[in-house]
Amino acid sequence: MNLEATYQKILSEIDQGHRGLQRFTNDDLEELNSLYLESLAKKDFDSVEKILCLVEHSAGLFGKFEGAIIQTLNSPIPDNLIIFALNCARKHIIEARFQKGQRLDFTFLEAIKQHLFSKNPEVVEWTLRLIEGTGNQGIYFLREFDKIKPGPWKWFNSHQRAVREIITLLERRWSPLEKPRT
């Protein structure tokens, strides 16, 4: 598979207003997964960004990306790549596991949890959006919400306001359920 050509094709389709979804063969996905792990190990963030774009725009689910995505979420990488990895996690971890009727893995939940405390409010917002997609398993994060709720003086930032709104939505959704004891 030609990484650069596929990446440019996806960007071209997005520029034209299309979704940019690509159908990959199983061999292509395996190759992409190993290339992803290699690029992450080398800290080649340009390649990681391109690979994450391909992973995000893969038409099918591929659960084998889970290890690489969790490794990405646990790595000290730029915030834009964290956000990209969070979006890939929604598809290739959460949707893939739910489709098989499996619960989310504890290592994945812990990888997400650390991004709730990011200094970048956009990362926190996308982390909360991912948590929203975890269904009732997201209640695992409920006790962390009080620690990250932005004060009213921060609501002028659109990301801080979104963080507040998503937290309120999730707390209301889970209020009938038992709140965890601290």
pLDDT digit string (tens) for 100-138? 999 999 999 999 999 999 999 999 999 999 999 998 898
- Cβ(59)–Cβ(18) below 8 Å: no
- Output the pLDDT for position 99: 92
Least confident piece of the model among 16-20, 24-28, 29-33, 176-180: 176-180
- Output the pLDDT for position 88: 94
| Residues 109, 130: Cα–Cα separation, whole Å | 11
Q: Nearest to residue 10, comparing CAs of 43, 40, 32? A: 32
Structure tokens at 181: 């004891």
- Output the pLDDT for position 103: 94
SS3 letters across the chain? CCHHHHHHHHHHHHHCCCCCCECCCHHHHHHHHHHHHHHHHHCCHHHHHHHHHHHHCECCCCHHHHHHHHHHHCCCCCHHHHHHHHHHHHHHHHHHHHHHCCCCCHHHHHHHHHHHHCCCHHHHHHHHHHHHCCHHHHHHHHHHHHHHCCCHHHCCCHHHHHHHHHHHHHHHHHCCCCCCCC
Please give the average per-residue pLDDT across 89-94, as a whole number: 94
**Is 178's pLDDT higher than 90?**
no
First-to-last alpha carbon distance for the chain, in angstroms, is 50
| Residues 102, 76: Cα–Cα separation, whole Å | 29
**For a pLDDT cut of 70, what percent of the chain falls above it?**
95
List the chain domain ranges.
1-102, 116-182
Please give the average per-residue pLDDT across 131-160, as a whole number: 84
| Residues 98, 60: Cα–Cα separation, whole Å | 14
Structure tokens at 116: 């709730």
Which single residue is written with the structure tokens 């290739």? Answer: 92
- Output the pLDDT for position 182: 55
pTM of the predicted protein model? 0.86
Least confident piece of the model among 38-42, 45-49, 166-170: 166-170
